[in-house]
């Protein structure tokens, strides 16, 4: 794993020490001796993580962190504050400024490298989602993703804690910001987390006969909980557990005795990050859907047809099974647009798609081919059966008028051409061309009819 790390400290010896430790792990290291220079580097260079000193003369670390998080260009760069300050109030202030973690001087090498690697993994995942969202927005099929910086409603937190007194303290501390469901039995936690809509899991390491890291590992391994933020509660000085936890993918940790304000700040950070990444994933899924779905009719579009028809064609050829294609075209559709307007034409297309869906079978693939043309791909379907399906569709289109929102009724018909894979048909493109020729014949011989390709 490699990444570009920016070390910010006004004391050259501290910079050299961190630079040497990180370079030994093959990280690319940049340095800055003050806040203003650090902000400029983050604005103009690719930076994956900032290791930030707090006590600096020109601009303290809190202000640098706040400025980084307020700038959309740099808001998603993880910040780790490296400081001699070790009071809970300082950690809370840093977390509220947007810091992801604290390392106390002198820095423990194992914790430093483990925390950096953990944050690099998280940033890589988040960056990939953001880049895809930005690409989708650029080509006009994605929605903008905002990051309000606030948690608008209480989060849902699963607490796995073996002691009732500890559960009570954590529930009380988080009451203003989260609904907490507590479990004392870790064996039930994996099922509970997978079956319910939690936004974070807190695992306390206070069990006598259970390794809390085993639960963390299971949560990371299960598909439904893989991206669920994990916060580990550990004993002061248990560096070995912290290092192993970060290597397993635990997002954050907090040491006992718990400071309620720090617990709240860390919890809000994780919930906010999860909600942001969830919005990115939803946007990506929506974008992928838009890429293969026709926005007007809700049917699959030609892009999807071109890709999926190849799969169905090759599968049919390998299994020696029939595959039929039907291309249908709305008769005299131009007259609908010219006489009643394009809005009326859109209504007809939507209703046509609805009737098409009601006709095709579950295994069939219905697509809008373009304009007023539609395609139905029918696996395991002979030409005679395909003709029967096509005739049923033709009849459904003709028998009942299309009623516009204005109340006007339009009598619509359709022409349909069918082709089936044979020895002579060697490619899906050839199959479509044969169906198109059959459609052309249907149009030229009177419309409102089904014609099967002779070849």
One domain, residues 23 and 58: yes
pLDDT at 284: 67
The ranges of the chain with pLDDT < 70 are 1, 86, 128-152, 284-290, 454-455
Domain assignment of residue 132, yes or no: no
CA distances from 124 to 2, 52, 78, 260 (A): 11, 20, 11, 31
- Is residue 267 located within the same domain as residue 315? no
Q: Are residues 389 and 336 in the same domain?
A: yes
Q: Are residues 48 and 160 in the same domain?
A: no
Asked if residue 235 is part of any domain, the answer here is yes
The whole-number pLDDT of residue 138 equals 54
Each as own residue / partner, the long-range contacts of residues 343-350 (CB below 8 Å, 24 or more positions apart, any chain) are 344/404, 344/406, 344/408, 344/410, 346/296, 347/402, 347/404, 347/405, 348/402, 348/404, 348/410, 348/412, 349/296, 349/297, 350/296, 350/297
Inside any domain, residue 139: no
- Examine the domain organization and report whether 315 and 257 are in the same domain: no
- Is the peptide bond between 343 and the residue preceding it cis, with omega within 30 degrees of 0? no
The CATH number given to whatever domain includes residue 371 is: 3.30.70.270
End-to-end CA distance of the chain: 58
Domain membership flag for residue 297: no
**Cα 68 to Cα 79: distance, rounded to the nearest angstrom:** 9
Query: What pLDDT, on the 0 to 100 scale, is given for residue 415?
Result: 97
445 lies in the same domain as 323: yes
Distance CA 39, CA 47 (A): 11
Give the domain range for residue 313: 302-452
The answer to whether residues 183 and 277 belong to one domain is yes
What pLDDT score was predicted for residue 416?
A: 97
Is residue 291 in a domain? no
Question: Are the beta carbons of 156 and 199 closer than 8 angstroms?
Answer: yes
Same domain, 267 and 332: no
CATH number at residue 34: 3.40.50.2300
Q: What's the residue count for the chain?
A: 455
Decide if 239 is inside a domain. Answer: yes
What total of structural domains would you count in the chain? 3
Gap between the Cα atoms of 212 and 114, Å rounded: 18
Query: Where among 282, 314, 336 does a domain terminate?
Result: 282
Q: pLDDT, tens digit, for every residue of 414-453?
A: 999 999 998 789 999 999 999 999 999 999 999 999 999 8
Residue 173, pLDDT score: 94
Residues 378 and 79: their CA atoms lie apart, in Å, by 55
Q: Kindly name the residue from 45, 372, 391, 426 that is annotated as catalytic.
A: 372
* In a shared domain, residues 241 and 374: no
Residues 326 and 421 in one domain: yes
Q: Is residue 296 part of a domain?
A: no
**372 labelled catalytic:** yes
Let me know whether 216 and 356 are in one domain: no
pLDDT at 289: 66
Tell the burial category of 51 from Cβ atoms under 10 Å away from its Cβ (0-12, 13-18, 19+): buried
Looking at 253, 282, 311, the residue that finishes a domain is 282
Output the pLDDT for position 149.
46
Residue 131 confidence (pLDDT): 64
In a domain, 260, yes or no: yes
- Does one domain contain both 325 and 430? yes
What is this structure's pTM?
0.60
């Amino acid at each position: 794993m490699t990444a570009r790390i920016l070390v910010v400290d006004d004391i050259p010896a501290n910079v050299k020490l961190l630079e040497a430790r990180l370079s030994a792990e093959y990280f690319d290291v940049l340095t800055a001796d003050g806040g203003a220079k650090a902000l400029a580097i983050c604005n103009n260079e690719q930076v994956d993580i900032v290791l930030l000193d707090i006590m600096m003369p020109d601009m303290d670390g809190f202000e640098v962190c706040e400025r980084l998080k307020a700038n959309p260009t740099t808001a998603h760069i993880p910040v780790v504050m490296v400081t001699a300050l070790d009071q809970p109030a300082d950690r809370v202030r840093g977390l509220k400024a947007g810091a992801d973690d604290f390392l106390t001087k002198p820095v423990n090498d194992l914790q430093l490298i483990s925390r950096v690697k953990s944050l690099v993994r998280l940033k890589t995942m988040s960056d990939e989602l953001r880049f895809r969202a930005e690409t989708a927005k650029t080509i006009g099929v994605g929605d903008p993703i905002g990051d309000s910086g606030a948690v608008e409603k209480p989060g849902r937190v699963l607490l796995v804690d073996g002691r009732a007194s500890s559960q009570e303290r954590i529930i009380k501390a988080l009451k203003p910001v989260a609904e907490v469901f507590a479990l004392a039995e870790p064996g039930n936690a994996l099922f509970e987390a997978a079956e319910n809509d939690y936004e974070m899991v807190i695992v306390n390491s206070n069990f006598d006969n259970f390794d809390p890291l085993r639960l963390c590992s299971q949560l990371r391994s299960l598909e439904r909980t893989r991206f669920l933020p994990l916060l580990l509660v550990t004993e002061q000085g248990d560096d070995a557990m912290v290092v192993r936890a970060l290597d397993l993918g635990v997002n954050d940790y907090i040491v006992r005795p718990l400071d309620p304000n720090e617990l709240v700040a860390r919890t809000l950070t994780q919930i906010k990050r999860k909600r942001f990444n969830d919005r990115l994933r939803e946007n990506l899924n929506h974008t992928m859907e838009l890429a293969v779905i026709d926005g007007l009719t809700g049917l699959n579009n030609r892009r999807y047809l071109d890709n999926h028809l190849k799969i169905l064609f090759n599968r049919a050829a390998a299994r020696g099974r029939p595959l039929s294609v039907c291309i249908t075209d709305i008769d005299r559709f131009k007259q609908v647009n010219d006489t009643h307007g394009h809005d009326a034409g859109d209504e007809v297309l939507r209703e046509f798609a609805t009737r098409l869906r009601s006709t095709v079978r579950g295994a069939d693939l219905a697509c809008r081919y373009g304009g007023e043309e539609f395609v139905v791909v029918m696996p395991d379907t002979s030409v005679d059966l395909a003709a029967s399906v096509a005739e049923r569709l033709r009849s459904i289109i003709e028998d009942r008028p299309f009623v516009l929102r204005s109340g006007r009724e339009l009598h619509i018909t359709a022409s349909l051409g069918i082709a089936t894979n044979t020895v002579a048909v060697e490619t899906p493109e050839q199959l479509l061309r044969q169906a198109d020729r059959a459609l052309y014949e249907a149009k030229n011989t009177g419309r409102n009819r089904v014609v099967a390709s002779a070849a």
